[in-house]
Structure 1
Amino acid sequence: MTAATWFILIGTLLLVVGFTFSYFKRVPATSAILYLMIGFIFGPMGFGLFHFNSLEESALLEFLTEIAVLISLYCAGVKMPAPVTIKRWQNPLQLAVVSMAITVGLVTLFGYYWLALPLGAAVLLGAVVAPTDPVLATEVQVRHADDPDHLRFALTCEAGMNDGSAFPFVMLGLGLLGLHDLGDAGWRWLAVDVFWASGAGIGIGILAGYGVGWLVNKIRTTFLDTAFLESFLGLGLIALAYGVSLLVDAWGFLAVFSAAVALRHTELKLAGLKQEYSERIETRQDDEPKAIAHVHVSESSLVFNEHLERLAEIVLVLLIGGSLFWDSWSWRAAGFAAFLFFVARPISVHLGLLGSRAPMRMRHLVGWFGVRGIGSLYYLMYAIQHGLPEDIALELIHLTLVVVALSIVVHGVSVKPTIARYWRSRKPR
């Protein structure tokens, strides 16, 4: 495809999305399915006007997916309720740490024994597909920081945290393949990749978010007529937290999510506001924010960043559709996707939430809505850029693209009807 054709395709798609936004809110499907179908139609499965080679363009795809995930993590973080309490965050923490580790273990066993992958490649595959996606899971994410729904909160918070907590397993897989230093008996991996990188990422994010929130409040109260470009402040916070994390070998995804959470918490605290958690049963989904007070940077920057997030989703899902051929849909890949969706995810969620007070119905829904997407592509491209052998890279690309495409379709078709039934069941009789 020529540059002119690409501009026409993207422009037409953006116009369609813009004109049909309210329509897609009513139909039982997500907009990501539309982007994927257009990729199929114009890609190798359809007219063959373009083919995106994920292996040859792995550097570009790593950059694009990295930006998309960072923006999505920020959007998820500023919608998290404040203050952060152990009681409220217990379930997401269990999902992001325990359930994700169990998923990696189950996928590793499946990859090693059924797919006949090398142990390191099986671990890497588990790390790639274990995290749930913050980009494509918009239908099951919290709508705003005052959203009282525990299901959406758990899924959003899990997606925000496990995009960072998966990184140690990526490095473990690379280490078992001889592409990363694990140290004697894995001591370096445990000390540096697990404890230091995770703890430092969270710490950097908290400091950055608090610093920006404090500085905005200080300037605003000292100079009453000061105006800010809140969207730029939000992007600046993302870049600052991520850049510092890269500098000290910390997990930047955790830093960005933590920074966004800390920013909202700091703005509320310094403004003398307290967020009330409503435990009442809602009778409908409310797409509009019901903020108790205007929190300047976190709320004002959210709209702009959500538009960037949607634009990134369009481009990347279109490329996914243009990466697949008809023979990509092998029984091997489809069987792996079925194992992940129907076995690994539900088992890991139920085991991870043992001992919690989460209702069984909520556990079933969390076990189903483990959307895989852009984050998985980023981890895989990251591994390829760190020397993953070509034969293993091609096999993992094949498996991951099919998993992501099927997740977009299967979860996209089922999310709205399932969530609607869930809300109807919670209406007061």
Structure 2
Amino acid sequence: MSFALWSLVIGALLIAMALSGSLLKRLPISNAMLYLGVGYGLGPAGLGVMAPHPLEDAAALERVAEITVLISLFATGLKLGLPLSHWHWHLPVRLAFTAMALTIAFIALAGVFGFGFPLGGAVLLGAILAPTDPVLASEVQVEDLHDRDRLRFSLTGEGSLNDGAAFPFVMLGLGLLGLHDLGAWGGRWWALDTLWPIGGGLLIGGILGALIGKLVVYLRTRHQEAIGLDEFLALGLIALTYGAAQLGHAYGFLAVFAAGLALQRVGEPVPSGLPTQTVQGAAEEALATDSEHASAYLREAVQGFNEQLERIAELTVVLVIGAMLPAIRVPVAAVWFIPLLFLGLRPAAVALGLLGSPASRQQRFFMAWFGIRGIGSLYYLMYAVNHGLPPALAEDFVGITLATVAVSILVHGLSGTPMMRHYGRRPRRGGNR
């Protein structure tokens, strides 16, 4: 596909989305559904103007998916207005670690006994499909920095944490396939693939996000310097944090999320109810250098740019996923596996992972249903392919993963708006907060 044709397609889609944005919010249709359909129409099954191949183009696809996830994780970190030490995080942590580990175990069992995969391959498939998606879950994400709704906060936090927390299981699956060194009795895996990468990633991201944020606020309020170019600041912090984490053998996904979380915690919290227009409508330089508003201005500016960047990245990746669908071979067993994943394995894992939690029955039901699969799964799939996944397994994994992502985009996209509207009409009780 030529650059001119890419420009035409992307430009037309961006303008169409801008003109129809208000209408789409009222319809049970997600943006990702439209991107997927357009991508399918532009692929070999339609006009044939783009034909990405999931195996031949695996290296490029891994990088594109990686960048998209990083942008999204930074954006969600900026939205979640509580430190990881706050009690409100206990549900997202249980979903992202306990429920996800159980989902991986359940998928691995289905992979061994249903598909006939070797144990390592089955664990790897579970690690690819278990993480929920922070990119495609806009309908169920927190609405702003002060949104403490238990359901929205839990699903947003889960999608942010488990994209990094799945990495140890990816490495475990590769190790069991003989493609990665797990060490004697798994010692190397525990130390260098699990404990340090998770803890180190959160630590590195938290430190860099806080330091850079405080430095910018200090320079603006005390010296009237470092004003403007907040877009460079957002991209620079993402790149700096990711690079530092990777060089430190920690998980960059968790580091970038922690950096966003730490950045929005710099300075005084934004007063509840402060409209974005207040920041945008006044003189920018005066707000950026005012000691009372500098932190809020920084957060608003960085978050606004990052959200727009996230939408463009989502459009590009989902278009490519749609175009790849005609090139995949979906195993026959996926016909029963995908419904089992959404209606059985994910709900069972969430039910067990949330035993004894204060979440209401309705909230647990919604948490179980909205296990949205998407760009994170594409990244882990391409990562495995590029790290020597045997061709036979790679072909099956590509078919299962892309089919699962496509079905998730459709069923969760159709159900997201009406279900969240119903949830929004519920009576407000203490247990819902």
Scaled by the length of structure 2, the TM-score of the pair is 0.91
Q: Give the corresponding residue for 2:286.
A: none
Q: Following superposition of structure 1 onto structure 2, how do residues 265-280 of structure 1 map, counting pairs within 5 Å? A: 265-268=265-268, 273=269
Deviates more, 1:182-191 or 1:323-332: 323-332
Q: Is the 8 A contact 1:233 1:297 kept in 2?
A: no
| In 2, Cα distance between equivalents of 1:215 and 1:204 | 16
| In 1, Cα distance between equivalents of 2:425 and 2:261 | 31
| In 1, Cα distance between equivalents of 2:22 and 2:138 | 15
Q: Give the corresponding residue for 1:171.
A: 171
Unaligned runs of 5+ in 1: 279-286
Q: Following superposition of structure 1 onto structure 2, how do residues 268-307 of structure 1 map, counting pairs within 5 Å? A: 268=268, 273=269, 295-307=296-308
CA distance 1:385–1:326, shift in 2 (3 Å): closer
Q: Give the corresponding residue for 1:210.
A: 210
Q: Following superposition of structure 1 onto structure 2, how do residues 136-175 of structure 1 map, counting pairs within 5 Å? A: 136-175=136-175
Q: Give the corresponding residue for 2:230.
A: 230
| Paired residue type of 2:224 | L
Alignment of 1:389 with 2:387, yes or no, is no
Alignment of 1:362 with 2:380, yes or no, is no
CA deviation after TM superposition for structure 1 residue 150, in Å: 1.6
CA distance 1:16–1:218, shift in 2 (3 Å): same
Q: Give the corresponding residue for 1:399.
A: 400
Q: Is the 8 A contact 2:214 2:267 kept in 1?
A: yes
Q: Is the 8 A contact 1:205 1:258 kept in 2?
A: yes
| In 2, Cα distance between equivalents of 1:289 and 1:187 | 53
How many residues are matched? 416
Alignment of 1:339 with 2:329, yes or no, is no
Alignment of 1:376 with 2:377, yes or no, is yes
Unaligned runs of 5+ in 2: 280-291
CA deviation after TM superposition for structure 1 residue 155, in Å: 0.6
CA distance 1:328–1:290, shift in 2 (3 Å): farther
Deviates more, 1:376-385 or 1:80-89: 80-89
Q: Is the 8 A contact 1:143 1:288 kept in 2?
A: no
Q: Give the corresponding residue for 2:253.
A: 253
Alignment of 1:409 with 2:407, yes or no, is no
| In 1, Cα distance between equivalents of 2:277 and 2:395 | 44
Q: Give the corresponding residue for 2:310.
A: 309
CA deviation after TM superposition for structure 1 residue 425, in Å: 2.1
Deviates more, 1:257-266 or 1:413-422: 257-266
Q: Is the 8 A contact 2:35 2:319 kept in 1?
A: yes
| In 2, Cα distance between equivalents of 1:148 and 1:289 | 22
Q: What is the alpha-carbon root mean square deviation over aligned residues?
A: 2.2
Q: Give the corresponding residue for 2:60.
A: 60
Scaled by the length of structure 1, the TM-score of the pair is 0.92
Q: Is the 8 A contact 1:241 1:256 kept in 2?
A: yes
CA distance 1:328–1:275, shift in 2 (3 Å): farther
Alignment of 1:8 with 2:34, yes or no, is no
| In 1, Cα distance between equivalents of 2:208 and 2:87 | 25
> Which of structure 1's runs of 4+ aligned residues deviate more than 6 A?
287-293
Alignment of 1:37 with 2:37, yes or no, is yes
Q: Is the 8 A contact 1:144 1:290 kept in 2?
A: no
Deviates more, 1:353-362 or 1:217-226: 217-226
Deviates more, 1:352-361 or 1:88-97: 352-361
| In 1, Cα distance between equivalents of 2:423 and 2:180 | 45
Q: Give the corresponding residue for 2:283.
A: none
Q: Give the corresponding residue for 2:117.
A: 117
CA deviation after TM superposition for structure 1 residue 327, in Å: 7.4
Q: Is the 8 A contact 1:120 1:172 kept in 2?
A: yes
| Paired residue type of 1:365 | F
CA distance 1:419–1:288, shift in 2 (3 Å): farther
Q: Is the 8 A contact 1:231 1:297 kept in 2?
A: no
Residues 122-162 of structure 1, C-alpha deviations (whole Å, 9 max, x = no match): 11110001110011111111121112322111111111110
